[in-house]
Amino acid sequence: MKLCVASPHFYPTYGGAQLRYLRYLPGLRARGVDAWVATGTPLLEERTESDRDRTWYDAAPGAFVGVEEVDGTAVRRVRLPDEKSWRRSRIFYRSVVAGCREPALRPDAVQFISNLRARAIPWLDQLRRAGIPVLYSVSQFPTWPAKPRKRLYRGWVYRALYNRLDAIVTNSEPLETFLRGIGVRTRIEMIPNGVDLERFHPVRSTGDRDERVALRGELGIGAEAPVVATLGAVVPRKGLDLLLEAWRELAKRDPAVQLLVVGPRADLHDPKLVGFRGRLEALVAATGTPERIRFAGSVGDVERYLRAADLFALPSQREGFPNSVLEAMATGLPVVVTPFVGFSERIGRPGRELLQTERSPSALAEALGALLADRERRALFGHAARDWVEAGLGVEHSLDRYAALYHEVARR
């Protein structure tokens, strides 16, 4: 069968969902799901350095800027306006429908993976009238208004949008419960994110140990220094500011501990994050140990950086089914999280496969410090984490579920 994966931005500008689907596509192809990607140019604040060097932005909004092959998948891109607007959405959705109408590209189903808005409704209706099933992946808890009237309106919008779909894919029970609670009647398939257990594995050979020492050397970190790692885009939701506050306490206790931050620096190019960037810079300076805090940026070999660490922390505010936690657990790292909106014990049970602590600098510093001081306890958490993901969160299981769903929807 043929699948269109649609997202306003994709390679090389990633969010968690886009990166996850990029990794899924070869496995889906092996299961008889041949996909192509309909995407656009990123917003100004979302551009990476590699984006800025491209010629996409020489074209007028609405122009088709070409096809490139990424890991065997065709990625078709349209030039989108540089700001969030009705026009940007209209051009993107119109380009998806146009691509799906081309005889050579016509898919058996369309999978939207991010930023599906109510303004998409006219184009969703066009796809369905053409006999093309439409699915959407809801992979993260939405922000929810505090005022009752706004909540009522938001719920009405979601129902109007989601009840037009043929299926929704969620990755956790809390998300499914939330959707049913606001009146979504569409079929919901709960498929947890899957982690590549071959790519993400613990240090288990001489080669792995040599690679760990070599990468630490590149980063200026000693072979025996304890390293706390965090992974994800540098945005307020991920809680790096909280981690830096905790780090100030932790670094005083242990003069050898190092902090490794891996992920794209959204705060450096998003004008809306100027204040957040200033806060991070102030916190780094206030620690008194800026030389022990390393920002690796966006890297293609995340698994090497995780194997170079001793402990993983994610003090996020809101998630769906965080890939970073699964990848750290698969690497055999003990994981410390704070409670976040959307947490599911399917990720891991607090106190057994991961450690959960309250959302405060002192509590986070205490949890990290206690684990760093107890090598045996770290090992127990790391082994339990790896066993947990091996038992039910491997990517092959997720790919089987996705492929079965796509084949079933396409046969209707």
Residue 186: band (very low, low, confident or very high) from pLDDT cuts 50, 70, 90 = very high
Compute the average pLDDT of residues 193-214: 95
Question: What's the half-sphere exposure (Cβ side, CA atoms, 13 Å) at 189?
Answer: 20
Report the C-alpha gap between 280 and 282 in whole angstroms. Answer: 5
Question: Residue 141: its pLDDT value, please?
Answer: 79
Residue 99 has pLDDT above 80, yes or no: yes
Fold of 2-194+395-411: Rossmann fold (3.40.50)
Question: Residue 114: its pLDDT value, please?
Answer: 81
Report the C-alpha gap between 404 and 406 in whole angstroms. Answer: 6
pLDDT (tens digit per residue) in 208-239: 999 999 999 999 999 999 999 999 989 999 99
Mean pLDDT over all residues of the chain?
92
Residue 45: band (very low, low, confident or very high) from pLDDT cuts 50, 70, 90 = low
Each domain of the chain, given as residue ranges in start order, spans: 2-194+395-411, 206-392
Q: Are 286 and 280 a contacting pair, CB within 8 Å? A: no
Residue 300: band (very low, low, confident or very high) from pLDDT cuts 50, 70, 90 = confident
Question: Residue 50: its pLDDT value, please?
Answer: 61
Question: Residue 76: its pLDDT value, please?
Answer: 96
Compute the average pLDDT of residues 54-70: 89
Question: Residue 52: its pLDDT value, please?
Answer: 58
pLDDT (tens digit per residue) in 106-138: 999 999 998 788 899 999 999 999 999 999 999
Question: Residue 17: its pLDDT value, please?
Answer: 84
- Lowest-pLDDT range of 8-12, 326-330, 349-353: 8-12
Query: What b/e readout covers 262-276, taking b as 16+ CB neighbours within 10 angstroms?
Result: bbbbbbebbeebeeb
Report the C-alpha gap between 56 and 50 in whole angstroms. Answer: 11
Task: Report which of residues 140 and 157 the model is more confident about.
Answer: 157
Compute the average pLDDT of residues 293-320: 94
- Lowest-pLDDT range of 264-273, 292-301, 323-332, 335-344: 264-273
On whether the 206-392 domain is CATH 3.30.465.10, my answer is: no
Q: Are 162 and 136 a contacting pair, CB within 8 Å? A: yes
Residue 53: band (very low, low, confident or very high) from pLDDT cuts 50, 70, 90 = low
Structure tokens of 246?
A: 């905790």
Question: Residue 276: its pLDDT value, please?
Answer: 95
Query: Residue 121 has what DSSP assignment?
Result: H
User: Do the domains at 2-194+395-411 and 206-392 have one common CATH topology?
Assistant: yes
pLDDT (tens digit per residue) in 329-367: 999 999 999 998 888 888 999 999 999 999 999 999 999
What backbone phi and psi angles, to 5 degrees, belong to 40?
-135, -170
CA nearest 195: which of 27, 379, 405? 27
Q: Which amino acid is at 76?
A: R
Q: What percent of the chain has pLDDT over 70?
A: 97
Q: Who's near 135: CB < 8 A, 6+ residues apart?
A: 109, 110, 111, 112, 165, 166, 167, 168, 169, 405, 406, 409
Helix, strand, coil shares, percent, the chain, to 5: 45, 20, 35
Residue 48 has pLDDT above 80, yes or no: no
Query: Residue 350 has what DSSP assignment?
Result: B
Structure tokens of 243?
A: 């981690």
Residue 376: band (very low, low, confident or very high) from pLDDT cuts 50, 70, 90 = very high
Q: Are 356 and 332 a contacting pair, CB within 8 Å? A: no
Residue 168 has pLDDT above 80, yes or no: yes
Query: What b/e readout covers 17-36, taking b as 16+ CB neighbours within 10 angstroms?
Result: bbebbbbbbebbbeeebebb
Q: Are 291 and 300 a contacting pair, CB within 8 Å? A: no
Question: Residue 180: its pLDDT value, please?
Answer: 95
Q: Is the dihedral of CA 132, 133, 139, 144 positive or negative?
A: positive
Task: Report which of residues 265 and 303 the model is more confident about.
Answer: 303
Neighbours of 97 (CB within 10 A): 19
Compute the average pLDDT of residues 34-62: 80
Question: Residue 318: its pLDDT value, please?
Answer: 87
CA nearest 26: which of 66, 69, 67? 69
Structure tokens of 143?
A: 């922000």
Residue 370 has pLDDT above 90, yes or no: yes
Residue 47 has pLDDT above 70, yes or no: no
Neighbours of 158 (CB within 10 A): 18
Q: Are 16 and 322 a contacting pair, CB within 8 Å? A: yes
